[in-house]
Amino acid sequence: MSAGPITGHVTALPGGMTVRRLLPAAQARAVGPFVFFDHFGPITLQPDAGSDVGGHPHIGLATVTYLFEGAMLHRDSLGTEQLIEPGALNWMHAGSGIVHSERTPPALVGQARRLHGLQLWVALPPDQTQSAPHFQHVAASALPQLKLQDASVRLLVGEALGVRSPVRTAWPTLYIDLQLPPGGQLTLPPLAEQWALYAPEAGLLRADGSSWTHQQMHLLPTEPLHVQAGPEGARAVLIGGAALPQLPRMWWNFVAYDRAELAAAAARWAAGGFDPIPGETDRVPAPPWRD
């Protein structure tokens, strides 16, 4: 990884939704096992805005969904149907292959609704890419929360600061949500071999009082981190973990260490070879595969 912030790029979606993609980037293809980082919203979607994502496949990764505002309905080919709400952590281990959709909960269809959150991908290590798929939902109340100096710290994934998340991972992984009151300060020791900070909104300050540029990913050195909040308070997430033994390849929704596995997954989706989501028939088409 090289120093310097990752600005990402923004994609406009139907209904006014925007998605800012921070990983992968030229500065860092991965931070620990995190190979993909999307920030969507914040936005108030109008009643007729469509935000559903139909059935689509994954291999070789775990999707990690975390909301600040709003709600989403997750369904997958294992038969899972799970409402995702703010503060809960949803971890879908794709392994050898899974299909899922993300939809507006029925109770919110036809209503104006807020939506703001993060979706990340964690690459599975080489010996786990063909493991059986599974899904974990951890309620907000089950995630460790502690008061550390002035900050409220929630450990979403991993082990740090004397607590451990109940989320089961295949590789050393760190994911923390921290909030600071107006003027609050926090100093953390290095918590991972590789780690990065992302502030979804303005308000986070460095020790010298200058601003961390929000909606940019800041790759952190392995030294203590000191942050403070401006007059409105601040929020940030920390991601990281152990460096992967090798960087995987990515194509569309697939992660693999061998290009042939990506080609096989593309052919499998085109041929209808993935298990379907019970009760759903719509499928997101893949882009053309190029040999």
224 domain residue, yes or no: yes
- Comparing CA positions, the residue from 242, 236, 239, 267 lying closest to residue 252 is 267
- As separate numbers, helices (DSSP H) first and strands (DSSP E) second, the chain gives 1, 25
Residue matched to tokens 């989706």: 269
SS (H, E, C) 126-176: HHHCCCCCEEEEECHHHCCEEEECCEEEEEEECEECCEECCCCCCCCEEEE
Q: What is the pLDDT of residue 12?
A: 87
- Whether residue 35 is contained in a domain is answered as yes
Structure confidence at residue 291 (pLDDT): 74
Residue 176 · residue 155 · CB < 8 Å: yes
Q: What is the CATH number of the domain that holds 32?
A: 2.60.120.10
CA nearest neighbour of 276 among 134, 61, 158, 99: 99
Enclosing domain of residue 38: 5-241
Predicted local confidence at residue 17, as pLDDT: 85
Q: Which of 186, 178, 177, 180 is nearest to 231 (CA)?
A: 180
Residues 178, 121: Cα–Cα separation, whole Å: 20
How far apart are the C-alpha atoms of 171 and 34, rounded to whole Å?
A: 11
* The pLDDT of residue 3: 60
Is 265 part of any domain? no
pLDDT by residue, tens only, the chain of 291 residues: 556 799 999 998 777 888 999 999 999 999 999 999 999 999 999 998 888 999 999 999 999 999 999 999 999 999 999 999 999 999 999 999 999 999 999 999 999 999 999 999 999 999 999 999 999 999 999 999 999 999 999 999 999 999 999 999 999 999 999 999 999 999 999 999 999 999 999 999 998 889 999 999 999 999 999 999 999 999 999 999 999 999 999 999 999 999 999 999 999 999 999 999 999 999 999 999 987
Query: Could you tell me the two tokens for 109?
Result: 């269809």
Alpha carbon distance 4, 27 (integer Å): 8
Question: How many domains does the structure of the chain reveal?
Answer: 1
| Contact residues for 110 (Cβ-Cβ < 8 A; gap 6+) | 47, 48
pLDDT score for 213: 93
Q: Identify the three-state secondary structure at position 265.
A: helix
Judge whether 97 lies within some domain.
yes
Indicate yes or no: pTM above 0.75. yes
59, part of any domain: yes
Does 43 fall in a domain? Answer: yes
Alpha helices per DSSP H over the chain = 259-270
Indicate the burial class of 46 (C-beta count within 10 angstroms; 0-12, 13-18, 19 or more): exposed
Question: Which residues partner with 65 through β-bridges?
Answer: 90, 119
Q: Is 42 part of a structural domain of the chain?
A: yes
* Alpha carbon distance 52, 191 (integer Å): 36
176 within domain boundaries: yes
pLDDT (0 to 100) of residue 290: 86
